[in-house]
Structure 1
Amino acid sequence: MTNHQKYSIIKEMKPRSNTTKGIFFIICSAFFFALMAVFVRLAGDIHFVQKAFFRNAVAFLIALGGTIRDVRHNGREAIRIPKGAPLYLFLRAFAGSVGVFGNFYAIDHILLADAAILNKMAPFFTIIFCFIILREKIKPVPLACILVAFCGSILIVKPSFNFTQMIPTLAAFMGGVGAGLAYASIRKLSYLKCNGKIIILFFSAFSMMLSVPYMITSFNPMTLQQTLFLCCAGACAAGGQFSVTAAYYHAPASKISIYDYSQILFSTLFGLVFFGQFPDWMSLAGYIIIISMAIVNYIYTHRHTEENPVVA
């Protein structure tokens, strides 16, 4: 076998290997985020901003420890921020904070599965924001899937004239929008070769700073059990953040986003086991529509990629 043939085989294997890694990490993130929601809810009657602060504090400490270790091994190069990265670090941090606050508020007020599926509108918004930020083209079929999935989300939100009842589901939906922009920003930062730990460190610190005014003026004393639950939530969130960052580092959203919906399975199972929750028929119909559109989009994208391989 010639060196050219070996190189061709390696080049063909690499994208597949990267996609496999992306799938693995996205499923890991789904599990961690579903488990995080359980601990957030178990923490009880604590304001969602305070819960978010502890969630981000744990993630910040873990990312800080990893960054310090990288600096010891690789020097200052480990914390070098590439040219053009600060804007997308800010976008990731701001959008991610919107996602966290929206999701945490929803977790305390609606079914875990409802909160999860509305948050999982994120992959559709990731595709939209990747078009805006990275100029990744949106084909007609994915665009149709996004529109139909949006209609499915309406079944879960259940619009009414009672705006107070709609706030939790709207918060979850906006959390999905924020997460979509955050993931697109991560994808852009991966092209800029920004250290993944720096991305998480900056996001966690930014989100914590947004929580500080509330923590100073309205901090709620917590029991030891509540503190432990929030620490566990933070550890799971860190696991989810590292996993999702690694996932979008290894593969584009169009190839792996479908597997992010495994969180719905985890959330439904955890909600049933820990809280006796089960979605109503409208929510179930919304789940089916959104997940079906995700599957259609995935199949279309996968076939389109095979028929039109990218020549390096």
Structure 2
Amino acid sequence: MAENRKRYKGILSIICSAFCFALMNMFVRLAGDIPSVQKSFFRNLVAFFFAIVIMKKEGIPFAVKKENRKDLILRSTFGTLGILCNFYAVDHLVLADASMLNKMSPFFVVLFSFFLLKEKITVPQAVFVAGAFLGSLLVIKPTFSNMDFLPSLIGLAGGMGAGIAYTFVRKLSLHGEAGPVIVCFFSAFSCIVTLPFLLFDYHTMSGGQFVSLLFAGLSAAGGQFGITAAYSYAPAREISVYDYSQIIFSALLGFLVFGQIPDWLSWIGYGVICTMALLMFLYNQRKFMNKKRLPR
């Protein structure tokens, strides 16, 4: 029963995280023409102070376990690269195409969880995740022929960076590292890495742009805490597919804020994504119940 509750919490956490990241992308777009490094710095600066407040409120000391330092640095390195590449792709590609490349991250989570954490992947689970990815292609309808080659590779690298980073989040959680500490360390690391570039190429911002980046940072903090909690509750193979709910949230925000109306292919994609998520949930429930029935 405890394992089942953790799975529910993992699903809820990753859906909340997806919504927060959809909000983050909306605010990043509203911020307008600002360098990707500058957007990344303010995004992580807000997340850093947010994490500090949470740690102080919950009485969590900023004490990194010695055996986790290497994994924290790797998580932060790949996470920072993922953010920079994603923001670069958003600035240089069609937004839908950039989003598609970033949505490769759940695949990389499952892949690197197999290699780094030795988490087994069953055939049905692989099919459900692949089906969700195909649904996302229907939603965003990528046109690689219209993409510049280098920005496309950078966008794909961003998805891979995020996927590897989330895998290390799962590993750190399994090794007892507190979620707020992981978020705080990552945010501080990203700010330190991007600060020199910001000092040499700072662009003056309007009040509206500053507010947009402030809310982008708050949304990113919510997304980081959500994704960190999610992978501490359940393995990637069981919950990563729910990360595709971000596409649905993005479509709703796009309609409400930018007046974008999805076409019929997008609606089919939403149906495919929701169906794959439901099938994954039912499969994991059945697998869990069968495991409970096995004689001890």
* TM more than 0.5: yes
TM-score (norm 1): 0.80
TM superposition shift of 1:63: 1.3
The alignment partner of 2:210 has SS state of helix
The answer to whether 1:21 aligns with 2:21 is: no
Q: Residue 28 of structure 1 aligns to a residue in which SS?
A: helix
Task: Report the CA distance shift for 1:233/1:283 in structure 2 as closer, same or farther (over 3 A).
Answer: same
Unmatched segments (≥5 aa) in structure 1: 1-11
Tell me which moved more, 235-244 or 203-212. Answer: 203-212
The letter for the 2-side match of 1:66 is: I
Compared CA separation, residues 253 and 88, structure 1 to 2 (3 A): same
Relative to structure 1, the CA distance from residue 49 to residue 287 in structure 2 (aligned partners, 3 Å threshold; closer, same or farther) is farther
Identity of matched residues, %? 46
Aligned twin of 2:249: 266
Is contact 1:32-1:237 (8 Å) kept?
Answer: yes
2:144 maps to 1:159:
yes
Q: Deviations over 1:157-186 (max 9, x none)?
A: 4333x652x555544433221121111101
Q: Any residues of structure 2 matched to 1:188-203 within 5 Å, and which?
A: 188-203=171-186
* Alignment map for 1:15-164 (pairs within 5 Å): 15-70=3-58, 73=59, 78-110=61-93, 114-143=97-126, 156-160=141-145, 164=148
Provide the rounded CA distance (Å) in 2 between the counterparts of 1:106 and 1:285: 26
C-alpha separation in 2, matches of 1:310 and 1:45: 58
Aligned to 1:5: none
Cα offset for 1:280? 6.7
Structure 2 CA distance for aligned equivalents of residues 148 and 243 of structure 1: 24
Asked if structure 2 preserves the Cα contact closer than 8 Å seen for 1:112 and 1:267, the reply is no
Shift of 1:109: 4.6
Asked if residue 187 in structure 1 is aligned to residue 170 in structure 2, the reply is yes
For residues 31 and 146 of structure 1, what CA distance do their matches in structure 2 show? 19
* Contact 2:100–2:137 under 8 Å retained in 1: no
1:297 Cα deviation (Å)?
5.1
Aligned residue identity for 1:158 = T
CA separation in 1, counterparts of 2:243 and 2:87? 18
TM-score, structure 2 length as denominator?
0.84
For 1:33 and 1:247, the matched residues in 2 are separated by: 14
Contact 1:116 1:267 in 2 (8 A): no
For residues 291 and 98 of structure 1, do their structure 2 counterparts lie closer, same or farther at Cα, with a shift above 3 Å needed? farther
Task: Tell me the CA shift for residue 132 of structure 1.
Answer: 1.0
Q: What CA deviation, in whole Å up to 9, does each residue of 1:252-286 have, x standing for no partner?
A: 22222232222111101111222233567787777
2-side partners of 1:208 and 1:246: how far apart?
Answer: 22
Inter-partner Cα distance in structure 1 for 2:124 and 2:9: 26
CA contact (8 A) 1:157 1:170 kept: no
Structure 1 residues 231-240 or 120-129, which shifts more?
A: 120-129
Q: Deviations over 1:171-203 (max 9, x none)?
A: 443322112111110110011101211111111
Which of 215, 222, 245 is 2:228 aligned to? 245
Aligned pairs for 1:272-291 within 5 A: 272-278=255-261
**Separation in 2 of the partners of 1:23 and 1:54?**
29
- Judged with a 3 Å threshold, the aligned counterparts in structure 2 of structure 1 residues 109 and 268 are, in CA distance, closer, same or farther, namely farther
CA offsets 1:36-59 (integer angstroms, 9 cap, x no match): 111111111111111111000000
Displacement after TM superposition at 1:116 (Å): 3.9
Kept in 2, the 8 Å contact 1:122–1:177? The answer is yes
